[in-house]
Amino acid sequence: MAQNNLAEAFPATKPVKRRIPDIKEGTLHKAKAVVIPNSLPFSKFEKILMTFCGIILTGLMIFVISGKISLSSAEHELSSSQGQVTKVTSSNSNLKQEVNQLSSRSRLDKIAKQYGLSLTTQNIRNVNK
């Protein structure tokens, strides 16, 4: 069978050899040869793919940060609303207590005596809302 030549032919390059001194206990020994292979350049597809992934990643980072900011804003508004609810509840409680004090039996008796009125228990009716 014949080979179909699907592999791309790259020119054969010789690896670069560099000499690195071997320093051991303050004395110099023979330099060792280190082979550093040449790196292949990125293809157009790889460059486009990396750019596209970078744009997507940047967009997701912006989306997450804006979500965090809106969440923080909503929490601040919730806290403010809860503070207002607490103030109104306290005010309502104070007003109910004042109504109870003003409509107490002893106060009504005192006001009746002041104006020369009398209270008969047969004519009193309790009205509840």
Query: pLDDT digit string (tens) for 39-50?
Result: 788 899 999 999
Query: 27: which DSSP letter?
Result: E
- 77 vs 112, more confident: 77
pLDDT-derived band at 18 (thresholds 50, 70, 90) equals low
CB 53 within 8 A of CB 66: no
Q: How far apart are CA 98 and CA 107, in angstroms?
A: 12
pLDDT-derived band at 88 (thresholds 50, 70, 90) equals very high
Q: How far apart are CA 24 and CA 54, in angstroms?
A: 46
Q: Give yes or no for residue 9 having a pLDDT over 80.
A: no
Among 4-13, 48-57, 103-112, name the one with the lowest average pLDDT.
4-13
Q: Give, in order, the Cα–Cα distances in Å from 67 to each of 18, 57, 64, 76, 94.
A: 53, 15, 5, 14, 41
Q: Which of 35, 34, 31, 11 is nearest to 21 (CA)?
A: 31
Q: Give, in order, the Cα–Cα distances in Å from 66 to each of 11, 52, 58, 72.
A: 51, 21, 12, 10
CB 38 within 8 A of CB 13: yes
- 115 vs 34, more confident: 115
